[in-house]
């Protein structure tokens, strides 16, 4: 930590020196895009920022999270209706408490594993990934709910203790609600942000560049198409903030139970502090770059976001896998299931990370699938070896360039 601070000070000092030099050099520079103070942009005195669809999906997912624990009221079909915002027959459903969500024509499912970069020509894998969520939702209702007041054992769903908390697991020891929640962080939030809305294929689609450069707005709106795409990416991270134009970035805080929450969890680790501000700044500067028509600056900011948000998923995967590994090593196997359910959910989400230098996930999807096969075989977590968990954690951390020690606390 101290070392890190020193290097920050050093860099800050260097910047001061450099900019002082620059000031003495009177050459006129091309227009410099300045870092906006807030995520707030206007045209003709009206805000051009809109991400209501993203906020809605975050809220739908939060209601789904709650329903996954409603053992007395939720059913497999009610959970699936929440996921699809449709009845099993494809008719209109009203599965949410919040009437605005029922009125919405959107659903969680339509955007799961649906990014342009990864899935537009890969409908078969998209269907498989969506299918996992539906199988977890169904199993929660058909496997876990009926055994709510039973003690879980290998091959039998029920309760396990996790310190002072009670956890409800399926036959393989997994908390399906955790697999769903942590899986959505990758399959919905991360995938939509880094592989869809911040993808040049989406930002520059059709005539987006010309339109944006000439400030041609979408019919009936104040924003250009490109601006809007960028905002939609922003919405999946900060859309549920009380003040989304100036969101709370504090360590350990949360505006939802998904990517926002875990970015700020990572923020509270000294080894990664500053990450939230870095992501927020990249969103602001990238958006300002779009307004200024500076597309290389835009793409540089997109890369910063892709890099950091992918890393958040990897850090939390390693963190929870190691926590679970330690508990198993201390003969507290069932006490490890909560951490492992979170860890495996995050590991599942690695499929949706993007390495800006390869434009692919950091770990090949076949490798993630091979891990999954090991983790879900036989009695699952009741049998899993600490060695396997250590191996997966070590593979992830070395690929992402942080140490296991850094991810642990």
Q: Which of 73, 124, 149, 296 binds another protein (CB under 8 A)?
A: 149
Per CB under 8 A, contacts with another protein among 174-233 are 178, 181
> CB–CB of 287/230 below 8 Å?
yes
CB-CB contact of 241 with 247 (8 Å): yes
Give the Cα separation of 317 and 353 in Å (integer): 12
Determine the distance from the C-alpha atom of residue 218 to the mean position of all C-alpha atoms in its chain, rounded to a whole number.
Answer: 28
Do 61 and 261 contact (CB within 8 A), yes or no? no
Give the residue with the Cβ less far from another protein, 12 or 151. Answer: 151
Q: Footprint of another protein on residues 30-89 (CB under 8 A)?
A: none
The number of residues that bind another protein (CB under 8 A) is 26
Segment contacting another protein by CB under 8 A, of 20-28, 30-38, 39-47, 322-330: 322-330
Closest approach of another protein to the CB of residue 292, in Å? 40
Helix, strand, or coil here: 55? helix
Query: Which range binds another protein by CB under 8 A, 55-63, 212-220, 333-341, 350-358?
Result: 333-341
Regarding 349 and contact with another protein (CB under 8 A), the answer is no
Residue with tokens 């434009």: 359
User: Are the C-beta atoms of 323 and 336 separated by less than 8 Å?
Assistant: yes
Least distance to another protein, CB of residue 164, Å: 5
Taking the complex as a whole, the smallest distance from the CB of residue 240 to another protein amounts, in Å, to 16
Interface residue with another protein among 329, 367, 383, 404 (CB under 8 A) is 329
Q: How far apart are CA 146 and CA 140, in angstroms?
A: 9
What residues from 254 to 273 belong to the interface with another protein (CB under 8 A)?
257, 265
Q: Does 330 bind another protein (CB under 8 A)?
A: yes
What is the secondary structure of 109-173 as a DSSP string? Answer: GGGTT--HHHHTT-HHHHHHHHHHHHHHHHHIIIIIGGGTTSB-BTTB-EEEEETTEEEEE-TTS
Q: Is the CB of 328 or the CB of 350 nearer to another protein?
A: 328
Among 150, 216, 378, 385, binds another protein (CB under 8 A): 150
d(CA 313, CA 101): 27
**197-201 LR contacts (CB < 8 Å, sep 24+):** 197/229, 197/230, 197/232, 197/233, 197/236, 198/230, 198/233, 198/302, 198/305, 198/306, 199/115, 199/116, 199/117, 200/299, 200/302, 201/116, 201/117
Q: Considering beta carbons, is residue 69 or 106 the nearer one to another protein?
A: 69
Closer residue to another protein in complex, CB, 175/303: 175
Instruction: Name the DSSP class of 174.
Output: -
Tell me which stretch binds another protein (CB under 8 A): 103-111, 136-144, 160-168, 190-198: 160-168
Q: CB under 8 A: which stretch of 41-49, 73-81, 209-217, 326-334 binds another protein? A: 326-334
Of the two residues 164 and 373, which places its CB atom closer to another protein in the complex? 164
Positions touching another protein (CB under 8 A) are: 149-151, 159-167, 178, 181, 257, 265, 326, 329-335, 408-409
């Amino acid at each position: 930590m101290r070392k890190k601070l020193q290097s920050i000070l050093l860099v800050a000092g260097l910047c001061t020196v450099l900019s002082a030099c620059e000031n003495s050099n009177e050459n006129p520079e091309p227009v410099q895009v300045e870092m906006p103070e807030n995520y707030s942009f206007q045209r003709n005195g009206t805000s051009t920022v809109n991400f209501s669809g993203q906020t809605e999906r975050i809220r739908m997912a939060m209601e789904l999270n709650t329903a996954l624990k409603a053992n007395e009221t939720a059913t497999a079909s009610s959970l699936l209706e929440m996921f699809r915002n449709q009845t099993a027959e494809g008719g209109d459903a009203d599965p949410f408490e919040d009437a605005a969500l029922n009125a919405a024509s959107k659903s969680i499912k339509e955007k799961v594993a649906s990014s342009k970069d990864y899935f537009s020509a890969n409908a078969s894998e998209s269907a498989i990934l969506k299918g996992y969520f539906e199988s977890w939702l169904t199993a929660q209702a058909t496997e876990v709910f009926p055994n709510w007041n039973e003690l879980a054992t290998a091959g039998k769903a029920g309760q396990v203790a996790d310190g002072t908390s009670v956890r409800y697991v399926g036959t393989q020891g997994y908390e399906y609600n955790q697999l769903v929640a942590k899986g959505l962080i990758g399959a919905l939030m991360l995938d939509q942000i880094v592989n869809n809305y911040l993808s040049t294929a989406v930002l520059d689609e059709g005539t987006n560049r010309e339109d944006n450069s000439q400030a041609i707005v979408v019919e009936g709106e104040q924003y250009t198409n490109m601006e809007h795409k960028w905002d939609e990416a922003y919405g999946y991270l900060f859309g549920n903030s009380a003040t989304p134009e100036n969101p709370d970035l504090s360590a350990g805080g949360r505006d939802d139970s998904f990517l926002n929450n875990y970015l700020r969890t990572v923020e509270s680790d000294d080894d990664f502090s500053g990450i939230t501000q870095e992501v927020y700044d990249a969103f602001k500067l990238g958006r300002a770059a779009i307004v200024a028509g500076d597309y290389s600056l835009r793409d540089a900011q997109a890369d910063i976001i892709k890099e950091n948000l992918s890393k958040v998923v990897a850090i939390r995967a390693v963190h929870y896998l190691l926590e679970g590994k330690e508990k198993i090593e201390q003969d507290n196997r069932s006490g490890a299931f909560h951490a492992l359910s979170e860890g495996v959910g995050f590991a599942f989400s690695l499929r949706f990370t993007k390495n800006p230098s390869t434009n692919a996930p950091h770990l090949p999807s076949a490798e993630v699938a091979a891990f999954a096969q090991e983790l879900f075989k036989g009695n699952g977590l009741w049998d899993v070896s600490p060695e396997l968990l250590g191996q997966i954690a070590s593979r992830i951390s070395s690929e992402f360039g942080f140490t296991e020690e850094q991810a642990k606390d």
